[in-house]
Amino acid sequence: MTTEIPLSRIDALVRLLGDDDPKIASVAWENLEKIGEDALPQIRSAAEESSDLRVRAQCGRFLTEWSRREVFRQWVEFCKGTEVDLEEGAFLIARSEYPAHDTAQCRRTLDGYAQVLRGRLATARTTDEAVRRACALLFHELGYRGNAKDYYNPENSYLNRVLETRRGIPISLAAVFLLTARRAQIPVFGVGLPLHFLLKYRGQSHDVFVDVFHSGALLTARDCARMLSEAEVRFREEYLHPVNDREILKRMLGNLLQIYSKSEDARRADRIAAMLKLLS
């Protein structure tokens, strides 16, 4: 039998979220977390109507963190599957930071890209031609490109923000390309090259690699080996093998974990580490 918490106690705790003493505010937060769902109506009301701006801000933060918990529970269920889906996983990762983002709108954006691309593939007779047309659409017309100036900004790793800004790092740009290509039935695969994620497809005579960070530049296996050599990484043939969706998602999370750990953002680092552990 659960004990009903008086509304007056919940209201008092909500007010204490704006206390000048951070320790008192922290204790109030912890108690509201323990109360859980029963406290949410008052917290939502205070987030919109409280005359104390600090209370309003803290209530907004509380609601966001509560939503992130729900996303984490969805992630737990997602990871139980033997096969994971890149699109579903990438949007769950995005919602782990931006729980209110409109996933349906993001999917419609990708659907729109694919619809345009399919219209241009009617006369494409080879995979080479299809990939070149996809590159022309995404990188030259739509303006997707690598964010070299702000490479370690975590927004480069969240698919919703990449779709909004059209800037990203190799693996997030590769995700946009892959999800568009899959809709248009272009056979392209992820390649987990150390330090630089690529895509690849089978050309007429050999494998071709797509460098999405550099506007879809096309590379050979020798170019990839040279890239590693310049980075003082010893080349191994398995680096050029396709990777599955689980490996792509793990690498996305690994990038975020490095960023948040380096910036000493313990709360986000812990959340991403937990997500990565579940996926692994």
Pick from 72, 90, 42: which is nearest to 252 by CA? 90
Q: Is the pLDDT of residue 4 over 80?
A: no
Of the pLDDT bands very low, low, confident and very high (cuts 50, 70, 90), residue 1 is very low
Query: Class of the 7-79 domain?
Result: mainly alpha
User: Which pLDDT score is estimated for 204?
Assistant: 79
- Round to whole Å and give the CA distance between 249 and 226: 26
Dist. CA 109–CA 115, nearest whole Å: 10
Tens digit of pLDDT for each residue in 69-118?
999 999 999 999 888 999 999 999 999 999 999 999 999 999 999 999 99
Confidence (pLDDT) at 197:
97
- Return mean pLDDT, the chain: 94
Neighbours of 137 (CB within 10 A): 20
Domain borders along the chain are: 7-79, 86-279
Q: What is the pLDDT of residues 173-218, one digit of tens each?
A: 999 999 999 999 999 999 999 999 999 999 878 899 999 999 999 9
Determine if residue 216 is left, alpha or beta; phi over 0 gives left, psi from -120 to 50 gives alpha, anything else beta.
Answer: left
CB 190 within 8 A of CB 166: no
Q: What is the CA radius of gyration of the chain?
A: 23
